[in-house]
Amino acid sequence: MPSEELFAFNDALLILLKVFCRLLAALPVGVVSLLCRFMALLLALFMADRRRTTMRSLHHAFPDRTEAWRRGVFRQSCARMFEMGLFRSTASYFSSQRLDEVLEIPDTATALMTQYAPGQAKYGKPFVVLMPHMTMAEAATLLPRHFPEFPQLNAIFRPLNQPKINAWVMAERERYGVKLLSRKNGYNQAMAALRNGEAVGLLFDQDASKKGTTITFMDRIISATDLPGLMAHRFQADVFLMLTERTGFWKAKLTLQEIPLGASPTEISVRAHDALAAYLRRDANSAADWLWLHDRWNHYYSRHKRFRLPQKRNQLELSNRIHGYATLPRQTRLWVRLPNWLGDVVMALPILRAIRAARPDFEMTLIGKAAFQPLVERLGVADHFVPLPERGRGYFKTFYAKRREYPDTYLLLTNSFRGDLEAWLTRCQQRIGMVRPGKRRPLLTDPYHLSSEVDETQVHQTAVWERMVRYCGLDTELDHTPVVVEQVATVANRIGLICGTENSPEKRWPVAHWRALLQQLIAVRPDVEIVLYGTVADRSITDSVCEGWAPKQVRNRAGETNLAEFCDELSACAVVACNDTGGMHLANMLGTPVVAVFGPTNPVRTGPIFTTPHSILQPEGCPLTGGMDIEHVSVDRCLAAVLEHLPKTV
């Protein structure tokens, strides 16, 4: 649009805006209130993302309230956003009597403010006013009307994009004596005002981006501006939190709460946010008095820093100390979809450990097969476990119902469309997963595209996942130390055998080889106790392996242990000999030495990863990445490896 046409359009828009505001000022308050509620209804209906963001914030801030209570606050907050937007320009057409009724100033606030008037005790002392983004925050521009002898009140504001409309709004805001200072170039003026013993008011921000300081607000991390504190400390100014508490439509009561100067600028910000949080948590009316439609916690959703806390301007230790917290409250909800195989779940543990260490504010929920729950609870790496529902018509309905739990981030360690659909149905705003070359995962919001240059046959599965989480900001080293089950003592002469596999029969060492190993073990070390493990499906294999031996010497426990018992028994073994299966990874994770027989599968990609002693046996001449028949691994080699891990004396 040419500049002349643009100017004409802006002129016409300004005229229409003035006519509209004059009309609103003439209407009964109830009619204007009804209009705001109608506009809020339209916003709720047609701005689903904004509604979802607001409801998520309310759910985090008020976890003990009902969903109905939070929906009520959301509706009120929407209506009050329009009430706030219309007030300042419409108030230009209020009568003097009506203006007097807008702002109620209690005696306590009057007493505080008059201290700074000429001839009073604090005359000439600068002070900083922190103003939350409340419904009637604009009513603060009426203060000079009530206190004409008061020192100059300066307010830092964000200019509007339309110059003529901005000039009109500025003129109306300054009508009663407030001086506006633009955020773009007004900070030097603000400093000069404080130097002259004047007052400076500004909105304090909860999303100050990279320029902010990391603290907590309502127990979640935010990027808060330290500007008010810096101003106050530089000039030793008094600091007040100013609340314009809405008492009715376009009516407010002003309260002032003094904030101690403290030892640092950040302390002012922390205490001001605490005072605001206390007000918002008071009741539904107070909760709705703040502009919730802005996501105050949005800065830390960036995909490239999701799995780390900022290093610069990080004041979480100070924030915790002021709040009396030993550690950060876990209020940021990370949901992790676990792989479907036990071995893969174990290989994911170093990733989960690292994320847990890097983001102590994460409330981690793991989602996986119900059979994994005892293992997850034992590992202690997560706060919650959600078992996958039974397959059937209600399967995906379960995940859709989870949308009311408002997860913040969903990390998928699966590669299936089903897992992506599960995450999408929860309406989680950030869904992270790996996209391999030639594949598509359209339901992810933050895909990590694995480079085509990565040869996955040469890289361990855990290291591939590590690439993804480092892309998302993780800078903590992975922990590969085993999980020690302290209450379980190792039995020095017990050998565990895992002769089956959950899938892929070609991964199984032949029954004849296992029987030969048993025979030679007992011949060489008649003192050993041998226990066979596996699932119910493995029972036919283990029955064949141990046939002919006395139960006292060879016990068949396949199908007789749940996952927790299986962990305990593997921990008690001196060594475990096994195929490439989930039990191999479990024993390796639990600190039990492992002798693993590989053939067609690739130990470079799926071998043991924990720093527990282990031996990988492959057929003679087999590439490190596998690909040969497993039966070519000799019994003698397996026997030697098992004896090497067995104590020399019993």
> Given 255, 287, 319, which residue is the final one in a domain?
287
Domain contains 100: yes
Distance CA 208, CA 211 (A): 6
| CATH number of the domain where residue 637 is located | 3.40.50.2000
- For residue 204, CA distances in Å to 151, 201, 208, 282, 636 come to 22, 9, 9, 20, 73
Largest Cα separation within the chain, whole Å, is 106
Query: What pTM value is reported for the model?
Result: 0.92
Share of the chain above pLDDT 70, in %: 98
Share of the chain above pLDDT 90, in %: 79
Q: Average model confidence (pLDDT) for the chain?
A: 92
Q: Check whether residue 282 and residue 380 sit in a common domain.
A: no
pLDDT digits (tens, 9 = 90+) for 596-618: 999 999 999 999 999 999 999 99
Q: Check whether residue 276 and residue 337 sit in a common domain.
A: no
Q: Check whether residue 536 and residue 593 sit in a common domain.
A: yes
Residue 333, phi-psi category: left (phi > 0), alpha (psi -120 to 50), beta (remainder): beta
Least Cα distance to 133 among 296, 291, 274 occurs for 291
pLDDT band of 6, cuts 50, 70, 90: very low
pLDDT higher than 50, residue 650: no
pLDDT band of 10, cuts 50, 70, 90: low
pLDDT band of 545, cuts 50, 70, 90: very high
Distance CA 320, CA 329 (A): 9
Residues 6+ apart with CB under 8 A from 107: none
| Residue 419 contacts residue 443 (beta carbons within 8 Å) | no
Q: Check whether residue 264 and residue 342 sit in a common domain.
A: no
Question: What pLDDT is attached to residue 1?
Answer: 46
Question: What pLDDT is attached to residue 551?
Answer: 87
Q: Check whether residue 458 and residue 510 sit in a common domain.
A: no
Domain contains 88: no
> Given 405, 439, 471, which residue is the final one in a domain?
471
Q: DSSP letters along 494-506, please?
A: EEEEE---SS-GG
Domain contains 536: yes
Count of structural domains, the chain: 3
Q: Rounded to the nearest 10 degrees, what angle do helices 29-46 and 48-61 cross at?
A: 100
Domain contains 10: no
Question: What pLDDT is attached to residue 296?
Answer: 84
Domain contains 479: no
Q: Check whether residue 413 and residue 538 sit in a common domain.
A: no
Question: What pLDDT is attached to residue 3?
Answer: 52
pLDDT higher than 60, residue 514: yes
pLDDT higher than 70, residue 231: yes
Q: What is the mean pLDDT of residues 575-584?
A: 96
Q: Check whether residue 505 and residue 442 sit in a common domain.
A: no
Q: Check whether residue 341 and residue 380 sit in a common domain.
A: yes
Q: Check whether residue 464 and residue 500 sit in a common domain.
A: no
Q: DSSP letters along 405-450, please?
A: G--SEEEE----HHHHHHHHHTT-SEEEEEE-TT---TT-SEEEE-
pLDDT higher than 70, residue 5: no
In the chain, what are the helix, strand and coil shares in percent, each to the nearest 5? 45, 15, 35
Q: Rounded to the nearest 10 degrees, what angle do helices 511-524 and 539-546 cross at?
A: 40
Question: What pLDDT is attached to residue 628?
Answer: 96
> Given 436, 471, 506, which residue is the final one in a domain?
471
Question: What pLDDT is attached to residue 164?
Answer: 80
Domain contains 179: yes
Residue 191 neighbours by CB distance under 10 Å:
16
Q: Which of 97-111, 235-249, 478-492 has the lowest mean pLDDT?
A: 478-492
pLDDT digits (tens, 9 = 90+) for 405-447: 999 999 999 999 999 999 999 999 999 999 999 999 999 999 9
Domain housing 338: 332-471
Distance CA 20, CA 14 (A): 10
pLDDT higher than 70, residue 529: yes
pLDDT band of 184, cuts 50, 70, 90: confident
Q: Check whether residue 459 and residue 503 sit in a common domain.
A: no
Distance CA 399, CA 384 (A): 15
Domain contains 303: no
Element (H, E) at 629: none
Question: What pLDDT is attached to residue 140?
Answer: 92
Question: What pLDDT is attached to residue 297?
Answer: 85
Residues 6+ apart with CB under 8 A from 205: 212, 224, 225
Q: Check whether residue 121 and residue 253 sit in a common domain.
A: yes
| CA trace torsion 13, 15, 17, 22 (10° rounding) | -170
Q: Check whether residue 276 and residue 143 sit in a common domain.
A: yes
Domain contains 405: yes
Pairing type for strands 332-337 and 362-368 reads parallel
Q: Which two structure tokens, joined as six digits, stand for 186? A: 């007004």
pLDDT band of 82, cuts 50, 70, 90: very high
